[in-house]
Amino acid sequence: MNSIVTLTDVNKTYHGTTKETRALQHCSLSIEKNAFTCIIGKSGSGKSTLLNAIGGLIQVDSGSVLVNQQELTKMNKKELARFRRENIGFVFQFFNLLQEQTVLENILLPFDLNNEKADLDFVNHVMKYLQIDDIKNKFPCELSGGQQQRVSIARAIVGKPNIIL
């Protein structure tokens, strides 16, 4: 089997101030390489939690999270940060753009973090395709919601990650 993501019996409970929320219960899932996969469920059902677990942004309580042949549950914070840099492009639900940085600087962030030279031809191609090439010197607070969303998508794509979440 050629799966890039395999979750086995994953559990994640949030210990909030008022009550516990079991966001993932016995969650098992396998995603093939090169697949475009949608996770559908009602609000609050655990989709973001699942994506955060696959992207190494949160640790789960139990089970196995195997992504690109790496077991995330065995990693410490530093190893997870490195895993994210090397494998994951993340489009956050609330975009998470850096407010002090321009559109272009936000998009080039993955290269800065990886100490890599940007593939500027590809960056320009992505920005044109997403129709944000004309706003590259603006700051996030000067953008519409859709523009912010597309900047976030561009940032997730330009590093050519193995997985886009």
Query: Which residue, 88 or 126, has its beta carbon nearer to ligand ATP?
Result: 88
Identified binder of ligand ATP from the candidate list 5, 10, 49, 158, rule CB under 6 A: 49
Which member of 11, 47, 63, 87 binds ligand ATP (CB under 6 A)? Answer: 47
Residue 45 binds to ligand ATP (criterion: CB under 6 A):
yes
Between residues 95 and 111, which has the closer beta carbon with respect to ligand ATP?
95
Residue 21 contact partner, candidates ligand ATP, Mg ion, none, CB within 5 to 8 A by sort of partner: ligand ATP
Amino acid residing at 147: Q
Q: Which residues contact 8 (CB under 8 A, 6 or more apart)?
A: 28, 63, 64, 66
Q: Is 91 in the site for ligand ATP (CB under 6 A)?
A: no
- For residue 22, how many C-alpha atoms fall within 13 Å in the half-sphere facing its CB? 6
- How many residues line the site for ligand ATP (CB under 6 A)? 13
Among ligand ATP, Mg ion, none, what does residue 137 contact (CB within 5–8 Å per kind)?
none
Q: Name residue, tokens 């990886």.
A: 114
| 129 contacts ligand ATP (rule: CB under 6 A) | no
Nearest partner of 25 among 46, 39, 44, 42, judged by Cα? 46
Q: Which of 37, 40, 41, 74 binds ligand ATP (CB under 6 A)?
A: 41
Residue 56 CB, nearest approach to Mg ion (Å): 17
Q: Are 61 and 49 in contact (CB under 8 A)?
A: no
Whole-angstrom CA distances from 85 to 98, 112, 124, 133, 142 are 17, 11, 21, 25, 28
Residues 6+ apart with CB under 8 A from 95: 140, 148, 149, 151, 152
Which residues contact Mg ion by CB under 5 A?
47-48, 93
Residues at the site binding ligand ATP, with contacts judged by CB under 6 A: 14, 16, 21, 23, 41, 43-49, 93
